[in-house]
Chains A and B, each alone.
Chain A
């Protein structure tokens, strides 16, 4: 593989396209996304719980659970953002009348050690946040 890559490099004379910059979102971009979501209102800490390990061995698959401390009928949406991923928005969930609890669990990819943020928007317009700083030993592969 390396030889083929080398040939490609030497024939094209261009190294740059083969070493793509590790594109990552920045906390500022995520803050902007959250501002879009929250709108005019303020965002408060609490009432939403992001359950994710603080030490992650393998970033390819990290189990996480988001739970909101409110009746499910009052929860408009749950969003999860990963600040260090190339595409920081992880998921958005909205609940209907047959939802049993304002809770959602899945497995996500993490590109690097970073802060993961969960934001819950309630029916009264208030927004709540929980964030977890975590360490990733083996990052999810973006490129090798």
Chain B
């Protein structure tokens, strides 16, 4: 489990896009570096990010080693009714982590 900070508005207007910001605590080891003995350091990045609202896709992102350590992601979501924002990301070891945020539409 890695630490994730999620920033969403508590209340949003129906049909009006709002911003979601995520900060994931992850080294995003690029696999391009070598240790002091000249051995390559294995790649370990979050390679996929999926955001779903009430069962329908918001967006899917494929991430590559050029994403900075502790990835920050920001995008816009639109909602017609209150519900749950589900954000899932997968790392190179196949570990999946899911975070959720409740959205209240008024």
Contact = CB atoms under 8 A, between A and B. Distances in A.
Interface of A: 1, 4-5, 8, 17-18, 20, 23, 60-63, 65, 82, 85-101, 103-110, 140-143
Contact of B18 (A96, A100, A105): A100
A108 B38 contact: no
23 contacts: A1-B36, A4-B37, A17-B38, A86-B32, A87-B30, A87-B32, A87-B65, A87-B66, A91-B62, A93-B61, A95-B57, A98-B52, A98-B53, A98-B54, A99-B57, A103-B76, A104-B74, A106-B74, A107-B68, A107-B71, A107-B72, A143-B32, A143-B34
Nearest to A105: B74
A98 B58 contact: yes
A20 B31 CA distance: 14
A91 B33 contact: no
Contact of A61 (B37, B53, B69): B69
B33 A108 contact: no
Most chain A beta-carbon neighbours within 10 Å: one of B33, B66, B69: B66
Given A4-B37, A98-B53, A105 B75 contact: yes
Contacts of B68: 60-62, 106-109, 140
Nearest to A79: B62
Interface of B: 17-19, 30, 32-34, 36-38, 52-54, 56-69, 71-79
Most chain A beta-carbon neighbours within 10 Å: one of B59, B60, B71: B59
Contacts of A109: 30, 65-68
B64 A103 contact: no
Contact of B17 (A86, A89, A101, A143): A101
Given A87-B64, A105-B72, 13 more contacts: A4-B37, A60-B68, A87-B30, A96-B52, A98-B53, A98-B77, A101-B17, A104-B61, A104-B74, A106-B68, A107-B72, A109-B66, A143-B34
A19 B66 CA distance: 22
B78 A141 contact: no
Contacts of B64: 87, 89-91
A77 B79 CA distance: 21
A106 B62 CA distance: 12
A18 B38 contact: yes
B66 A90 contact: yes
